[in-house]
């Protein structure tokens, strides 16, 4: 640990750099806001037809990390994450369950928010539902029809025309390179879409079919429901404006979902000339489990709830999800969960000692610790390097602690820096040791005996607790119970 004021590394001009899928390069983040203060961020949210799996949560934890880091950098973030509450899998699931669409969705949406909280994710500022934005979706489709970029097929469905979009000089294939010769009509993707003029065209409005049962809305094109892509275009532009800063999702969404969002949103031409729909596109690589793609047949498919049932905490799972860079496909293993427990234990012990020493002292944040952390995070959220600097600091601090070389103000400076870092990492405090009530009652009796200067009784209670597996640590803030002692 470096004494306060020793070296100030933070350079306020140092900017955050992010890999933009649109330009396939690392770029400095410059928000659209002329004052450079606010940032609009949209992350494609869950399709609530089941419990979210830990792969889904890798992407949502990444979005949470980016939002928290932007806030750390002083931006006022407007974080929007939609809930996809109408699409093929949901309709099939609702039908099979015999529940109405809202009832079916509610159970999984509530579970999703509960799981997000367990993982320490901050609630997005806005969480729009597709079914609550049908008028905006219809308005956007009408605009695309009026601009000649969409057409209605004979079954009533409305499609986006890639050919017409390209004919007016727009590029389809900005996030990925596409070979249009392979995308000709003829090969039919699915019976639902037999009316498309071109294979690449995608549905903006899907005409009602018998399997939709009671799930449909009225529109100028007859009864039906929106396509998935248009939902995100309509909701993001409604809440963040026709141009906004950041759009996130897992890498599987790059094509066609995000490519189609660009085509629809820019095709509608609501942006100020020269402005894009989205300035920075960011994608999280997929999570593998024990080296394989998650699949039910391989037995490596885990929801958050599966892992909690195995005795791991949300905090440990979040830690594992935050150990790898968001752009590297990352292998989730049970060994890494065990490693998370050890790493967090080291960190917690060090912080507890600093708390004891700091007492009520206050000091400015340890600038070096903060600077190292933010220098790593500025490099496209290089979280591995950020953890590296944190654990180097833990090692150095432990050395100083062992030599009794940490003063209260030094401890307070370190803790103050840690508080800012923790706000970004969101791993929370060590959960309090939950001693059973009879143990807490014994501790209280010991305190009472000490106050009454009955040290013999106080000592015998200490021994009694020890025999029951609990050790009392006397700290400047009062006694603390810790697991230990002689119990089997
Ligand atoms: P869904 O609920 O299927 O719409 O997916 C929600 C989010 O999770 C999307 O951003 C997906 O790209 C992302 N996702 C799905 N599977 C994985 C995975 N294995 N690793 C990381 N992200 C994923
Ligand atoms: Zn989306």
**CATH number of the domain encompassing residue 167:** 3.40.50.620
Comparing 344 with 180, which gets the higher pLDDT?
344
Residues 164 and 84 in one domain: yes
- The whole-number average pLDDT for the span 418-427 is 97
The whole-number pLDDT of residue 26 equals 98
Residue-wise pLDDT for 387-418, tens only, equals 999 999 999 999 999 999 999 999 999 999 99
Could you tell me if residue 275 is inside a domain?
yes
Could you tell me if residue 328 is inside a domain?
no
pLDDT bin (cut points 50, 70, 90) of residue 475 is: confident
Inter-residue contact 149 to 161 (CB < 8 Å):
yes
Cβ of 411 below 6 Å from ligand 1: no
Going from the Cα of 284 to the center of ligand 1, the distance in angstroms, rounded, reads 9
Residues 276 and 367 in one domain: no
Inter-residue contact 95 to 213 (CB < 8 Å):
yes
Q: Which of 50, 55, 257 maximizes ligand 1 atoms within 8 Å of its Cβ, making it the mutation to test the pocket?
A: 55
Going from the Cα of 209 to the center of ligand 1, the distance in angstroms, rounded, reads 28
DSSP-based three-state secondary structure for 226: strand
Last residue of a domain, one of 397, 412, 431: 431
In this model, does residue 430 exceed pLDDT 90? no
- The whole-number average pLDDT for the span 50-78 is 97
Could you tell me if residue 345 is inside a domain?
no
Residues 243 and 271 in one domain: yes
Quote the number of domains for the chain. Answer: 3
Could you tell me if residue 303 is inside a domain?
no
Going from the Cα of 81 to the center of ligand 2, the distance in angstroms, rounded, reads 9
Residues 132 and 155 in one domain: yes
Going from the Cα of 64 to the center of ligand 1, the distance in angstroms, rounded, reads 14
User: Which is nearest to 360 in space by CA: 479, 476, 473?
Assistant: 476
The whole-number pLDDT of residue 190 equals 46
Residues 212 and 200 in one domain: yes
Q: Which tokens is 347 given?
A: 């960190």
The whole-number pLDDT of residue 188 equals 39
Residues 69 and 41 in one domain: yes
In this model, does residue 109 exceed pLDDT 50? yes
The whole-number pLDDT of residue 156 equals 94
pLDDT more than 90, % of the chain? 78
Residues 26 and 95 in one domain: no
Could you tell me if residue 318 is inside a domain?
no
Inter-residue contact 122 to 226 (CB < 8 Å):
no
Going from the Cα of 59 to the center of ligand 1, the distance in angstroms, rounded, reads 6
Going from the Cα of 444 to the center of ligand 2, the distance in angstroms, rounded, reads 55
Cβ of 232 below 6 Å from ligand 1: no
**Reported pTM:** 0.87
The answer to whether the peptide bond before residue 197 is cis (omega within 30 degrees of 0) is: no
> Which residues have their alpha-adjacent CB atom under 5 A from ion ligand 2?
44, 232
The whole-number pLDDT of residue 3 equals 37
pLDDT bin (cut points 50, 70, 90) of residue 485 is: low
Could you tell me if residue 358 is inside a domain?
yes
Residues 406 and 441 in one domain: no
The whole-number pLDDT of residue 437 equals 78
Q: Residue 376: which domain range?
A: 1-30+351-431
Comparing 96-105, 178-187, 339-348, 440-449, the range with the smallest average pLDDT is 178-187
Length of the chain as a residue count:
488
Ligand 1 atom nearest to 46, measured from its CA: 2
Residues 144 and 188 in one domain: yes
pLDDT more than 70, % of the chain? 93
Which run of H or of E encompasses 443? helix 437-451
Sheet holding 244-250, edge to edge: 76-81, 38-43, 244-250, 278-284
The whole-number pLDDT of residue 4 equals 35
Cβ of 253 below 6 Å from ligand 1: yes
The whole-number pLDDT of residue 183 equals 66
The whole-number pLDDT of residue 8 equals 37
User: Which is nearest to 425 in space by CA: 28, 62, 50?
Assistant: 62
Comparing 240-249, 256-265, 450-459, the range with the smallest average pLDDT is 450-459
Residues 364 and 462 in one domain: no
Ligand 1 atom nearest to 251, measured from its CA: 12
In this model, does residue 233 exceed pLDDT 90? yes
Cβ of 287 below 6 Å from ligand 1: yes
The whole-number pLDDT of residue 2 equals 37
User: Which is nearest to 85 in space by CA: 98, 100, 101, 96?
Assistant: 101
The whole-number pLDDT of residue 196 equals 79
Rg, the chain, Cα only: 27
Residues 147 and 35 in one domain: yes
Could you tell me if residue 329 is inside a domain?
no
The whole-number pLDDT of residue 372 equals 97
The whole-number pLDDT of residue 487 equals 54
Q: Dihedral through CA 252, CA 254, CA 256, CA 262, nearest 10?
A: 150
The whole-number pLDDT of residue 184 equals 52
Going from the Cα of 100 to the center of ligand 2, the distance in angstroms, rounded, reads 24
Inter-residue contact 278 to 246 (CB < 8 Å):
yes
The ligand minimizing its distance to the Cα of 54 is 1
Residues 4 and 100 in one domain: no
pLDDT bin (cut points 50, 70, 90) of residue 296 is: confident
The whole-number pLDDT of residue 451 equals 87
Indicate which residue's Cα is closest to atom 18 of ligand 1: 55
Most confident of 5-19, 26-40, 440-454: 26-40
Helix, strand, coil tally for the chain in percent (to 5):
45, 15, 35
Could you tell me if residue 252 is inside a domain?
yes
The ligand minimizing its distance to the Cα of 329 is 1
In this model, does residue 7 exceed pLDDT 50? no
The ligand minimizing its distance to the Cα of 87 is 1
In this model, does residue 297 exceed pLDDT 80? yes
pLDDT bin (cut points 50, 70, 90) of residue 486 is: low
Last residue of a domain, one of 289, 315, 342: 289
The whole-number pLDDT of residue 479 equals 82
Q: What is the mean pLDDT of the chain?
A: 91
Provide the CB-side half-sphere exposure for 316 (13 A, CA): 22
């Amino acid at each position: 640990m470096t004494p306060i004021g020793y070296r100030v590394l933070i350079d306020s001009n140092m900017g955050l750099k992010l890999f933009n899928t649109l330009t396939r390069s690392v770029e400095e983040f410059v928000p659209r806001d002329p004052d450079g203060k606010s940032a609009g961020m949209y992350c494609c949210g869950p399709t609530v037809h089941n419990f979210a799996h830990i792969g889904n949560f890798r992407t949502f934890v990444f979005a949470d990390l980016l939002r928290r880091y932007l806030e750390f950098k002083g931006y006022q973030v407007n974080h929007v994450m939609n809930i996809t509450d109408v699409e093929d899998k949901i309709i099939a699931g609702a039908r099979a369950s015999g529940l109405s669409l809202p009832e079916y969705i509610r159970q999984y949406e509530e579970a999703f928010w509960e799981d997000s909280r367990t993982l320490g994710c901050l609630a997005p500022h806005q969480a729009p539902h597709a079914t609550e934005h049908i008028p905006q979706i219809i308005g956007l489709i009408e605009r695309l029809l009026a601009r000649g970029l969409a057409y209605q097929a004979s079954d009533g469905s409305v499609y986006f025309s890639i050919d017409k979009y390209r004919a007016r000089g727009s590029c389809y294939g900005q996030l990925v390179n596409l070979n249009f010769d392979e995308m000709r009509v003829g090969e039919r993707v699915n019976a639902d879409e037999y009316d498309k003029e071109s294979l690449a065209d995608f549905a903006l409005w899907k005409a009602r079919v018998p399997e939709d049962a009671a799930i449909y809305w009225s529109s100028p094109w007859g009864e039906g429901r929106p396509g998935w892509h248009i939902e995100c275009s309509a909701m993001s532009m409604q809440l963040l404006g026709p141009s906004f800063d950041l759009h996130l999702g897992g890498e599987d969404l790059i094509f066609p979902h995000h490519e189609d969002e660009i085509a629809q949103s820019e095709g509608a031409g609501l942006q100020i000339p020269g402005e894009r729909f989205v300035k920075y596109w960011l994608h999280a690589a997929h999570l593998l489990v024990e080296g394989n793609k998650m699949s039910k047949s391989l037995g490596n498919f885990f929801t958050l709830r599966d892992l909690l049932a195995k005795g791991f905490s949300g905090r440990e799972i979040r830690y594992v999800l935050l150990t790898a860079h968001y752009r590297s496909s990352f292998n989730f293993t049970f060994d890494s969960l065990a490693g998370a427990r050890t790493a967090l234990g080291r960190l917690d012990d060090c912080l507890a000692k600093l708390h004891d020493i700091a007492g009520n002292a206050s000091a400015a944040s340890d600038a070096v610790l903060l600077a190292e952390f933010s220098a790593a995070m500025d490099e496209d959220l290089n979280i591995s390097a950020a953890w590296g600097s944190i654990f180097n600091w833990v090692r150095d601090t432990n050395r100083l602690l062992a030599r009794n070389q940490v003063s209260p103000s030094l401890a307070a400076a370190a803790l103050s820096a840690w508080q800012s870092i923790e706000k970004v990492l969101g791993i929370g405090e060590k959960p309090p040791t939950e001693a059973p009530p009879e143990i807490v009652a014994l501790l209280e009796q010991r305190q009472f005996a000490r106050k009454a200067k009955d040290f013999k009784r106080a000592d015998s209670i200490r021994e009694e607790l020890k025999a029951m597996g609990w050790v009392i640590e006397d700290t400047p803030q009062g006694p603390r119970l810790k697991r230990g002692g002689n119990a089997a």
